[in-house]
A and B are shown apart, each in its own frame.
Chain A
């Protein structure tokens, strides 16, 4: 058919004839207009604007025209292709809008359907509130100290200045651990408080020391709504040069505000613990009524029983005898300690009214708290 070096081959370029181009254009526009949905339009795009579409092939032939004819043919094909592209774009827009208004509506689902395919887990509130209490102290620069739950009596009592046979020792309803000989005391107990960790910290850590110790404690109290043989305490200890009760009050105040609310006042009243002297119990202003329940006309407060104050902790200056038992010079160092019950904190902060809930393990109890109390 066409010969080499021939400048012009009318057969080869018939597709570029004006009539042919116009027909291609008309066919394409008709197919585009006829496309009923995005899939048909995709087919029309392929047929009339794709690599093998007549107009695309025609475009490729332009180069075969004599230079004089190229400009005109190029213009003609270009115009047609633009028109096709514009029609495609506009039809695409129309069909997409139609799809959006019809198809997506048809695809609507009920998004309120549940998808809880695995039951929810949770942490125990004693764990999460203990973490939270610890975090407050860690934020104040304290480190977490730990000790065993089965503890030597010397740590649990003697070193803490509980003299043998003193009523203070007997008040603690101690579980004693059986020793090798049934009739003899083993000198081992289930720790009755977290205070033996104070002794361990003073014996093992360099001074000054600022530690907080959360943990499980045991007392031989029968389980009822307010007593449990197993409970948790958290207690802090600071031993440094020149620490005073004023520092103790500052630490307590910072702790209470962080844990229970800004601006809550605290109050110390004399109490007795063998390992602190002076000793005090700590009350904080009720975080719910802030004392309003005690004023004339104030609504009664369930949380503080309209007392305005809630007892939260015991505290005091470390008894110098305790420092001596730990080999610390009481003339150079002084310290303070304060401790509170974690279950008590749960009762105050979260309205737990029956301590048995913390030990029964009903999944509803822990789940109510989620992972952060």
Chain B
């Protein structure tokens, strides 16, 4: 909310302290009203004097109206100025910028020749003086404006506008009334409540002659006040000081009736509405909308109403969206003389829902949804009626219409030292009483807290002077946000100043450090980074088109995505079910930026709906803890959200350079990236051939981890992408990828015990090379597993490692066959192995490979 400091100072007697506006801003911010900016206004205007127009000569030779006016500031010098406006006559008092004057924005005025005449200055419009956006005519001042006086002084233009960021809990601060109160407290100076200014004793007097109104639904509106003012001159001008304040607060000048209600809304925080009495028909009823009802609001939008909408209606139907926007049909017009002023208290939740439903956010709805003082309507409407009558020459009809529903009075019972215990300091009872009193609370004190045995009821650490004192606090009507002891504690603590809260050294908690899962995640990320992969965070939003690009079948589980009801872009309404599309897009972006050799990885959550699709989560109560069954219901409504890790590569994995050729990234690099993650986890795993979109059907590996009870569980896939996928994402040929489910790996890792140290044998190694010929379709991993298993059957000898050093296909091994050459390293714990022992172990390994995979020794390979 924007508010001129001079307006605040009218009610908070800060006197000369207003000169230090930065300190004002600091103090308001320190007590919870954040001042986002302080804007000096009027300080950049000089040389504008009040002048009288003596004579007006119309220059008719131009295509638009141009006036040549003789003006005087009363100094005896006759001046002539050219003016394009026509909203004045001879005798009018006007602001005149003399040559040498400076207008807002550093705009200097000089004498200049225009329309064939010399113009010695300029008659100013409100817009030119930055006190409104009206530049349709010049600013005509009151007839008694002192001739020759400095206009800035006269209009009180030198001021500062504070921009207050009002948090959603502080409805009371959406007004000069509320902010001035805080300012007075911050400076410890007297405060005058503008809601009481000029209010007469008969403010609550009801009259049967006043326009009739009733409340049909008290849940939408619990107070509704109408007052009538008759005979208001519709042409009456809004006085200059009011115009200046409205402009400074960001409000447009419209008409006296609208300006007065807006002015009082800013000052008091009470939105009000003026109806043209002649356009009302029949008694007013405040009620909810009926099916099919419509209302054209002031913004010329015909709105179809929702049965939940709170309406002000007359016998013609809806005439206003309560607390949000008035209807066009009953708007005050240029001919309205008899006005009905409405001041009401509408439900905060009701107006909030209504303004959001209609996407209609007004100054009124901003106040109602934050909470308006429910006890203000009689006074606010009286001030409006009196002001309108005074300024518009009308007459206030005695009495008012006052419909209301009983409102519960909130009282809060609090131990007097509760604020002390929240802050961790000792304010003492006097301070608590002072601060709560300043914000408008009334406080009753009682002694309690002792049980029958004379012990203190609880809280052993009470301060002695206040421990047994209970406070019963009644918050003021304007503080609808004060409902709990915690709210009262905050009032005391903020007004005393957060800087007065002591700092107590952080106490160490008995934490157990990161969990295994959390450490594994970090290690996986570090290992991939060490292996040359760059971590990125890709957009988690996706679309069905992504699943098509990935060549997923219609019934693929990865198509069951979470849908965002209000996506930022209609092109991406889904949440990702796999990390790959996002990563591939980032890959493409990097390639497009001139990086040819790119390896990326991402660790992130994906979202997958179960076969039953989207579910609804209940909204549980908050006045107690939830039951286990309720929590289970919430859990069941959420999709599966596994953490996954994925990597993509394109270009060279080993770069070309002065050392020679590079090596293009291939399927084996993607699988190695998967192995890198799995090695970190220590979970035993197996790699097998698979066919799975979006991978190349002949170059796709499935990775299985050993889960609980030794069962293999699919952890993910790796390999080269399918050429169709590569082309759909516009990527270079042979782009590779891997994606693993970290949640599966983490679970499997969770059942691993600590690493058990190996026995290190110092005896020499015995090496044997074998070349095995197998059918081409036999996976190397099976041959290796068989060799390992075969050697394991030999007592006392350990097969320390098996390494594949050659793969050969060609004439020498025959059609459809391949030769795999391995180095086997054997070692014993307790002796140097003999050649016979080593050979026997090798033979056992080969025999098992032969049994499992049909491997035969290639000629000559056993002559070691």
User: Which positions in A face B, CB cutoff 8 Å?
Assistant: 113-124, 126-127, 131, 134, 138, 140-144, 148-155, 158-159, 161, 163-168, 170-171, 175-181, 184, 186-188, 190, 203, 208, 210, 216, 220, 222, 229-230, 238, 242, 244-247, 249-251, 253-254, 267-272, 274, 277-280, 317, 319-321, 324-328, 331, 334, 358-363, 366-367, 371
Contact = CB atoms under 8 A, between A and B. Distances in A.
Contact of A177 (B167, B535, B538, B563): B563
B371 to A, nearest CB: 10
Given A127-B535, A177-B562, A317 B509 contact: no
Given A177-B565, A327-B624, A187 B537 contact: no
Contacts of B622: 158-159, 161, 321, 324-325
A117 B600 CA distance: 17
Indicate the member of B533, B538, B586, B655 with the most A CB atoms within 10 Å: B533
Contacts of A320: 484-486
B621 to A, nearest CB: 8
B625 A326 contact: yes
B590 to A, nearest CB: 5
Interface SS of A by simple majority: mixed
B776 to A, nearest CB: 31
Given A119-B655, A140-B506, A267-B499, 20 more contacts: A118-B531, A121-B533, A122-B534, A138-B514, A158-B620, A167-B369, A177-B563, A177-B564, A186-B565, A216-B604, A229-B541, A250-B506, A269-B29, A271-B32, A321-B486, A324-B622, A360-B589, A362-B590, A363-B534, A363-B536
Contacts, number: 318
Contact of A220 (B530, B568, B623): B568
Given A122-B529, A177-B565, A142 B498 contact: no
A188 B369 contact: no
Contact residues on B (Cβ < 8 Å of other chain), bracket: 35 or more
Nearest to B166: A272
B63 interface: no
Given A249-B504, A326-B625, A148 B641 contact: yes
Contacts of A175: 564-567
Contacts of A250: 503-507
B170 A253 contact: no
Interface stretch (B214-222, B233-241, B488-496): B488-496
15 contacts: A114-B657, A119-B532, A120-B534, A121-B531, A142-B509, A150-B607, A166-B352, A170-B356, A175-B564, A180-B613, A220-B568, A250-B506, A270-B31, A272-B168, A371-B530
B593 interface: yes
B458 interface: yes
A141 B511 contact: yes
A153 B634 CA distance: 9
B525 A187 contact: no
A20 to B, nearest CB: 45
Nearest to B31: A270
Interface stretch (B155-163, B254-262, B418-426): B418-426
A367 B536 CA distance: 10
A152 B625 contact: no
A250 B511 CA distance: 18
Given A150-B641, A245-B423, A361-B589, A272 B626 contact: no
Contacts of A246: 423-425, 501-504
A143 B508 CA distance: 12
B380 interface: no
B71 interface: no
A331 B511 contact: no
A165 B622 CA distance: 15
Given A180-B614, A247-B504, A278-B489, A170 B530 contact: no
Nearest to A328: B625
Contacts of B531: 118, 121
B595 interface: yes
